[in-house]
Homo-oligomer: A and B are copies of this chain.
Amino acid sequence: MLKVGVVGATGYAGAELVRILAGHPAAELTVLTSRQYAGVKFDEIYPSMAGIVGLVCEELAIDQVCGQADFIFVALPHKLPMALVPEILKHGKRVIDLSADFRFKNVAAYEAAYQPHSAQELLAQTVYGLSEIYFEEIQSAMLVGNPGCYPTSVLLPLIPLLQKDLLEVDSLIADSKSGVSGAGRSPVLTTHFCEVNESYKPYKVAVHRHAPEMEEILSREAGQPVRITFVPHLVPMTRGMLTTIYAKPRLGLSAADISDCLAAFYSGRPFVRLRPEGKPPDTLHVRGTNYCDLGFKFDARNNRVILMSAIDNLVKGAAGQAVQNMNIMLGLDETTGLAQVPFPV
């Protein structure tokens, strides 16, 4: 059994890591840290875990964490991991960081969106943890920067088509919608039940920090600079993310070309499911699972390609993909511990 630690275990992404790892046949949770809840039993914070997780949350102390665990997940807000991850690596432990800190190769893009980067020397060796795309590199990585939820939902449908140069790269628009758990567990007015219920709204319109993350990867995979208009919206539901992408096809492209490209690319990949044309994906179909369901529609009337993806923002959009990456790093089947059968409702 691999001894695993979660740094920042009480936020929603951290707790979802705990949820998945508690059921993982090859992993044993040995240490959970939480600044806010140090000294408190994890199952007092999450009573759902009573009888399942007996650990007490600890103050964060890298030496102690590395003494107790051989594999570390860091689920802290960006900026904090920059300081911690280098120390963990010095202990020779492999790390998956769920923040933005190790997602970029382009330091300038990171710094424009976030803040000065204090661990730039690590970026060259860091692997972007989009499991289906960077499987090979992830296998041997010491440090994986786990993708954002929005980028995961945008990149999985687009990359196959951009690699084959099937889309006009200056035509990309992603209209994304997220459940509220994506906003984290800290109570703020915008996550108050009464402000969310019966509310649907865009936010950070065309200025969200996940856009440069998407653009770095899209450009890399397209082999040319790619930009995207990205508009996130908040949906009154706990889990789920659906992205609707609009793009112009290259001249002469057909619906079958798109379908074939996506089907070929994801053939044999256990977590990406292609929906038949005209049957769009639905967040309810992937709730609680690591699946990414893809749909598409060729709008011949307007010569536009419409791509759609549905994920659970806490699973494939965060903790699930992180565990998928851990499996890949360890040489396990990538579905290990992630074979949650989805609920009918």
Contact = CB atoms under 8 A, between A and B. Distances in A.
Interface of A: 12, 15-16, 18-20, 22-23, 46-52, 170, 173, 175, 177, 179-181, 185, 187-189, 191-203, 205-206, 227-229, 231, 233, 235-240, 242, 244, 246, 270, 273, 275, 278-289, 293, 295, 297, 299, 301-302, 304, 306, 308, 310, 339-345
Contacts of A49: 341-342, 344
Given A202-B308, A278-B205, A341-B23, A246 B244 contact: no
List the 6 closest A-B pairs by CB distance, nearest first: A15-B344, A199-B284, A48-B342, A201-B282, A187-B187, A206-B299
A242 B177 CA distance: 12
Contacts of A191: 187, 192-194
B237 A344 contact: no
Contacts of A280: 201-203, 205
A15 B342 CA distance: 11
Contacts of A238: 193-194, 197-198, 345
Most buried by B among A20, A47, A177, A189: A47
A177 B233 CA distance: 10
Contacts of A177: 177, 200, 233
A49 B173 CA distance: 30
Contacts of A175: 175, 244, 246
B283 A205 contact: no
Contact of A242 (B47, B48, B202, B306): B202
Nearest to A21: B341
A235 B283 CA distance: 11
A240 B344 contact: no
B205 A47 contact: no
A69 to B, nearest CB: 19
Contact of A288 (B173, B281, B288, B293): B288
A185 B193 contact: no
Given A48-B285, A284-B48, A299-B206, A193 B197 contact: yes
B202 A244 contact: yes
Contact of A237 (B19, B20, B236, B275): B236
Contact of A12 (B242, B286, B301, B345): B345
A48 B344 contact: yes
Contacts of A12: 194, 344-345
A233 to B, nearest CB: 7
A168 to B, nearest CB: 12
A282 B200 contact: yes
A148 to B, nearest CB: 18
A319 to B, nearest CB: 10
Nearest to A241: B200
B302 A237 contact: no
Given A48-B285, A48-B342, A206-B306, A200 B242 contact: yes
